[in-house]
Amino acid sequence: MDFIDYYSILGIPKTASDEDIKKAYRKLARKHHPDLNPNDPEANKKFQQINEANEVLGNAENRKKYDQYGKDWQHAEQFEQARRQQSQQRQQSSTGNTGDYDFSDGFGGADFSDFLSSMFGQEGGGRQRSTFRGQDYQAELHLNLRDAYTTHKQTLTVNEKNIRITVPAGIENGQKIKLAGYGAPGVNGGPAGDLYITFVIADDSRYKRKGNDIYVDEEVDLYTALLGGEKIIETLDGKVKLTVPPETQNGTKVRLRGKGFPIYKKDGSFGDLYVQWQIKLPTNLTDEQKDLFRKIASL
Amino acid sequence: MQPDQLISVSEFCVHHHIEITFVQTLEQQGLVDTILVEQSVYVQPEQLPRLEKFVRLHQDLAIHPEDLDVVDDLLERLERLQSQVTRLQNRLVFYEPLES
């Protein structure tokens, strides 16, 4: 467990007044508050640190304890343990709670650092009997384009809990789905929050997606482009044989209806595949070939 | 909807250490909807995440309840712009060559 410098988190000197602490906290909280930075896990993490620093430094008693033990906080923990044991022995009927701090509000007490709980204890709950809904969780699921092409199952680990979900074919980059009841547990038996999963779909080196259509560049040699022929191309759905008409121009597009991306939650419906011919000129021509091209050019 | 399926505003306020007037202000600004059942005020469970967000903004950032509608409006705009950025990024991939 590393020592956490709450003063540096708030960007204030050790001599800062209570007013300075309050001001620094407010300034940083406004910048990093999760409600003002939706879908930004970094801001969430930063806000928790700021909040934790404020919980300690913003309370005179906590601050004194923190200032007193500083880097030797491990000794503070031992001291606190010994003090708690003595206190428990003296008051055998006591409930055993060691602090008045309620770190369970807002963005989840479980996320506060071990450092804080080791210093001040985190077992302060139990004063509320009302039931409340748990907080919502946000998660990202990274897929590649080929994964997104088919309906498949994925296992996510959210807060050490494995969740198996079905990802419908055709999901889009940035699309968000809600799994009701998979968020944080409710308070005092209240309903759990929801889990929001944002899909992040990586770009593909071959296929480009635009909505439900797919675009692909396909090379064709000069002779086939000039004289016509056939070409087998790879699609996300397997191989397809295409006819290249004679005198095909560079950049010509061919549309293959229904060979594009599956349409989200519309079974059996697909976008189109556009194949763009890229004519490849021959290189390393022999003298004979060059002569033949000169002859054609002079005709 | 029966009261046992609703969230009591007074209980909510006790839990979150806020004054009832806070929820009344939000209601007057059209930020949350309340329901009056036998002289008790309730909110629907679906309103809870939104209500809790306003409480956090008020308590963590000391935003005055009267100013929360402005914040809410700006957050909605931010969300719309973020969705628009994502949509445009998806389209941009189509026009820009991939870096290998």
What is residue A102's predicted lDDT score, i.e. its pLDDT? 33
What is residue A43's predicted lDDT score, i.e. its pLDDT? 84
Lowest mean pLDDT of A32-41, A260-269, B23-32, name the range: A32-41
pLDDT greater at residue A95 or residue A32: A32
Nearest to A140 by CA among B98, B48, B86, B95: B86
Lowest mean pLDDT of A99-113, A152-166, A226-240, A243-257, name the range: A99-113
Q: Which residues of A touch B87 (CB under 8 A)?
A: 174
What is residue A122's predicted lDDT score, i.e. its pLDDT? 46
Query: What's the rounded Cα separation, in Å, for the pair A77 and A72?
Result: 9
Which of B4, B90, B98, B100 would best serve as a mutation to test chain A binding (most A beta carbons within 10 A)?
A: B90
Do A51 and A42 contact (CB within 8 A), yes or no? no
Q: How confident is the model at residue A135 (pLDDT cuts 50, 70, 90)?
A: confident
The CA distance from B8 to the nearest CA of chain A, in Å, is 10
Are the beta carbons of B87 and A174 separated by less than 8 Å? yes
- Token digits of residue B94: 């189509």
- Token digits of residue A213: 């259509």
Give the chain B residue whose CA is nearest to the CA of A24.
B61
Are the beta carbons of B79 and A208 separated by less than 8 Å? no
Q: Which residues of A touch B57 (CB under 8 A)?
A: 33, 35-36
What is residue B74's predicted lDDT score, i.e. its pLDDT? 92
ipTM for the predicted complex: 0.77
Average pLDDT (A278-286) is 95
pLDDT greater at residue A96 or residue A220: A220
What is residue A114's predicted lDDT score, i.e. its pLDDT? 58
Residue A108 predicted with pLDDT over 50: no
Q: How confident is the model at residue A263 (pLDDT cuts 50, 70, 90)?
A: very high
Q: Which residues of A touch B49 (CB under 8 A)?
A: 133, 136, 193
Interface of B with A in 41-100 (CB under 8 A): 45, 48-49, 52-53, 56-57, 59-62, 71, 75, 78-79, 82-83, 86-87, 89-91, 93-94, 98, 100
Domain boundaries, chain B: 3-95
Query: pLDDT (tens digit, 9 = 90+) per residue, A14-27?
Result: 999 999 999 999 88
Query: pLDDT (tens digit, 9 = 90+) per residue, A175-187?
Result: 999 888 888 887 6
Are the beta carbons of A209 and B90 separated by less than 8 Å? yes
Sequence-ordered list of residues with C-beta below 8 angstroms from that of A33, at least 6 positions apart, any chain = A43, A47, B56, B57, B60, B61
Nearest to A208 by CA among B97, B10, B68: B97
Residue A113 predicted with pLDDT over 70: no
Average pLDDT (A119-133) is 49
Q: Which run of H or E residues covers position A153?
A: strand A152-158
What is residue A217's predicted lDDT score, i.e. its pLDDT? 95
Helices then strands, each counted (H, E), chain A? 9, 11
Q: Which residues of A touch B16 (CB under 8 A)?
A: 105
Query: What's the rounded Cα separation, in Å, for the pair A174 and A272?
Result: 21
Q: Are strands B35-37 and B40-43 parallel, antiparallel or unpaired?
A: antiparallel
Record the pTM: 0.56
Residue A35 predicted with pLDDT over 70: yes
Q: Are strands A137-144 and A195-202 parallel, antiparallel or unpaired?
A: parallel
Residue A209 predicted with pLDDT over 80: yes
Is some CB atom of chain A closer than 8 A to the CB atom of B11?
Answer: yes
Residue A41 predicted with pLDDT over 70: yes
What is residue A74's predicted lDDT score, i.e. its pLDDT? 43
Structural fold of domain B3-95: Multidrug-efflux Transporter Regulator; Chain: A; Domain 2 (1.10.1660)
What is residue A83's predicted lDDT score, i.e. its pLDDT? 60
Domains of chain A: 1-70 (1.10.287.110), 137-201 (2.60.260.20), 207-280 (2.60.260.20)
Stated length of chain A: 299
Are the beta carbons of B75 and A136 separated by less than 8 Å? no
What is residue A77's predicted lDDT score, i.e. its pLDDT? 60
What is residue A109's predicted lDDT score, i.e. its pLDDT? 39
- Token digits of residue A143: 């897929």
Query: pLDDT (tens digit, 9 = 90+) per residue, B27-84?
Result: 999 999 999 998 899 999 888 889 999 999 999 888 999 999 999 999 999 989 988 8
